[in-house]
Amino acid sequence: MKLALAQLNYHVGDFESNKNKIISHIKKAKQNGADLVVFSELCVCGYPARDFLEFDEFISQCEASAKAIAAVCTDIACIIGLPTPNHNLEGKDLNNSAYFIENGQVKAIVNKALLPNYDIFDEYRYFEPSTEFGCIDFKGHKIALTICEDLWNTIENPLYITRPMDILIKEQPDVMINIAASPFAYNHDEERIAILGDNAIRYNLPLFYVNHVGAQTEIIFDGGSLVFDNSGKLVDELPYFEETLTYYELAKDGAITLQQPSTAKNVRETDIEQIHQALILGIRDYFYKSGFKSAILGLSGGIDSAVVCALAAEALGAENVMAVLLPSKFSSDHSLKDAEDLVKNLGCKHEVVAIKNITEAIETALHPQFNNLPFNIAEENIQSRSRAIVLMAMCNKFGYILLNTSNKSEAAVGYGTLYGDMCGGISVIGDVYKTQVFELARHINRNKEIIPENSIIKPPSAELRPGQKDTDSLPEYDILDRILFEYIENRCSSAEIIKMGFDEATVKRVIRLTNLAEHKRYQTPPILRVSPKAFGMGRRMPIVGKYLS
């Protein structure tokens, strides 16, 4: 049997484009003599469709697409994923399904049994888990078809009490196919390879695994579809962050012959290399899928906005990036110079809008109320918010989308101004700790200096008061980020983190700041997710709650 794996970039809710993409790949695979072409989980509607799934009209559209796709499946079979009505009276209204289509007909329907409902996932919100399992006979093969999470229950202390392959294996299948929607995080590729390889070994079967690629707002799918032989050996690993269609000959004895050179990796990319590619795809798809072309951002001369500017120029083209320098009376000369150097290196557009007269007008208007009270965070925030007003006015006038440039460390401890530098349509590096931002800057500069060296080496500062430095109010970033990682990613208590050797007062202060900033993070833009635990839908904390640590 000749199999084709289609690793594609869909758009949530864009039935026309998704359907056309699937159909054109079926035709292409047919031309290339494939017997079966496999698409990914819920490819018909895109993933995650969220509460679109609660609209009957949406489900009808899925079925209509499936019908059109089935119509072209002659002399080739295909597997597609879509939500389908649960015809049992009891239970949720939908199933997360895979259609096996042959001769223009749906020959078999497989429903997902293990429904991820952690981090960013909400599948039990919509779907009834399957309790019925059966293999599919095709061209002399018996296929055990499962959907994503269905294979992810082989670990110790598993999340679910059933394991679909334990039931399917009784029918003696000779191949496993798994269709997935498994989002990127910088450690997730290795985890996938380990878990899926373990399945191949455990069931002594070859495994074909097809993932999504592309970003849906903050969720980035990295592709990296996988093929294992029945010894658990990784025989192919599809490219990351790009679409592809690949072919395999599967013999009756389980032997797999590649129809193209294997792209299985000998050396894995570093986390930073992966994050870099993920962010480029995240920016590009955010703009492309929302129908916008041009980004705007405020350039401070610091490293965060410099990195975001460089990423945006790479993703959208420098000609589609407008960098705005917004000096205040506290801005240092080198800040302007560093920002100008970056603009020159990138070749993007730029403007300079001084905010001094704006902040003065605000402070003057408030003079009767403030009545000579000392300068404090109120005046600091007025500067940050004045910049946001200018940037948003330019968005409204010229149709830009504002890129948010906050990093994960400052988003964590609330070192940012709500409605000020926390504004934006999408947060580019809000899931990248400051220490990782430095690595990213070095990586961007790997071939030549793009981000001015001075932006990288000078002490980070918000420049909202004279001589201000981040370390005046925060620990050094290498300490801060390690504490934050233990609290956010690992959900450790302050006692546990202190036991690791960190200073008690520092730990308690960092965690307290993180908790206090929950109400700010609630109102920030979606954050491109590159870690296993990003702020946003994947981390749902109470706002008015008493925090422990």
Contact between 118 and 149 (Cβ < 8 Å): no
Among 7, 9, 61, 320, binds its own copies (CB under 8 A): 61
Q: Enumerate the β-bridge partners of residue 246.
A: 5
Q: Enumerate the β-bridge partners of residue 215.
A: 220
Q: How far is the CB of 457 from its own copies (least distance, A)?
A: 32
Tell me, residue by residue from 127 to 166, as one string, x for binding to its own copies by CB under 8 A and - for no binding.
-x---------------------------xxxxxx-----
Tokens of 199: 């399945």
The torsion angles phi and psi of 289, rounded to 5 degrees, stand at: -75, -20
Interface segment toward its own copies; rule CB under 8 A; list 167-175, 346-354, 458-466, 476-484 = 346-354
DSSP sequence for 135-146: -EEETTEEEEEE
Contacts 24+ apart (CB under 8 A), 222-225: 222/183, 222/184, 222/188, 222/189, 222/274, 222/277, 222/278, 222/281, 223/7, 224/189, 224/192, 225/5, 225/7
For 216, the 3-state DSSP assignment is strand
Residues 164-187 as b/e (b if ≥16 CB within 10 A, e otherwise) read bbebbbeeebbbbbbbbbbbbbbe
Among 525, 528, 534, 535, binds its own copies (CB under 8 A): 525
The single-letter code of the amino acid at 32 is N
Angle between helices 504-516 and 477-488 (to 10 degrees): 60
546 is a site residue for its own copies (CB under 8 A): yes
CA gap 480, 435 in Å, rounded: 9
**Subset of residues 306 to 335 that bind its own copies, contact rule: CB under 8 A:** none
The residue written with tokens 């929950």 in the block is 518
49 is a site residue for its own copies (CB under 8 A): yes
Tell me, residue by residue from 113 to 132, as one string, x for binding to its own copies by CB under 8 A and - for no binding.
----xx---x-xx--x----
289 is a site residue for its own copies (CB under 8 A): yes
CB-nearer residue toward its own copies: 179 or 358:
358
Q: How far is the CB of 394 from its own copies (least distance, A)?
A: 6
**Subset of residues 351 to 390 that bind its own copies, contact rule: CB under 8 A:** 351, 353-355, 357-358, 360-362, 364-366, 368-370, 373, 376-379, 381-382, 385-386, 388-390
CB-nearer residue toward its own copies: 458 or 539:
539
Among 140, 467, 501, 545, binds its own copies (CB under 8 A): 545
Burial classification of residue 132, based on how many CB atoms lie within 10 Å of its CB (0-12 exposed, 13-18 middle, 19 or more buried): exposed
Among 25, 34, 42, 48, binds its own copies (CB under 8 A): 48
Interface segment toward its own copies; rule CB under 8 A; list 169-177, 301-309, 442-450, 537-545 = 537-545
Burial classification of residue 195, based on how many CB atoms lie within 10 Å of its CB (0-12 exposed, 13-18 middle, 19 or more buried): middle
CB-nearer residue toward its own copies: 55 or 453:
55
Among 27, 33, 55, 251, binds its own copies (CB under 8 A): 55
CB-nearer residue toward its own copies: 231 or 364:
364
For 88, the 3-state DSSP assignment is coil
Name the nearest CA neighbour of 421 among 287, 304, 249, 265: 304
Tokens of 448: 């030549």
220 is a site residue for its own copies (CB under 8 A): no
87 is a site residue for its own copies (CB under 8 A): no
CB-nearer residue toward its own copies: 385 or 434:
385
Interface segment toward its own copies; rule CB under 8 A; list 133-141, 169-177, 272-280, 524-532 = 524-532
Interface segment toward its own copies; rule CB under 8 A; list 133-141, 201-209, 244-252, 416-424 = 416-424
**Subset of residues 466 to 495 that bind its own copies, contact rule: CB under 8 A:** 491, 493, 495
Tell me, residue by residue from 431 to 470, as one string, x for binding to its own copies by CB under 8 A and - for no binding.
----------------------------------------
- Residues 274, 275, 280, 286, CA torsion sign: positive
Name the nearest CA neighbour of 422 among 334, 301, 517: 517
Q: Within its chain, how far is the Cα of 185 from the centroid? A: 7
**How many residues lie near its own copies (CB under 8 A)?**
100
* C-alpha angle 193-195-201 in degrees, rounded to nearest 5: 95
Name the nearest CA neighbour of 293 among 267, 265, 317: 317
CB-nearer residue toward its own copies: 225 or 524:
524
Residues with active-site annotation: 41, 112, 148
Among 31, 56, 267, 467, binds its own copies (CB under 8 A): 56
Q: How far is the CB of 370 from its own copies (least distance, A)?
A: 6
CB-nearer residue toward its own copies: 152 or 228:
152
Q: How far is the CB of 100 from its own copies (least distance, A)?
A: 25
Residues in the chain: 549
CB-nearer residue toward its own copies: 196 or 390:
390
512 is a site residue for its own copies (CB under 8 A): no
Interface segment toward its own copies; rule CB under 8 A; list 20-28, 48-56, 165-173, 263-271 = 48-56
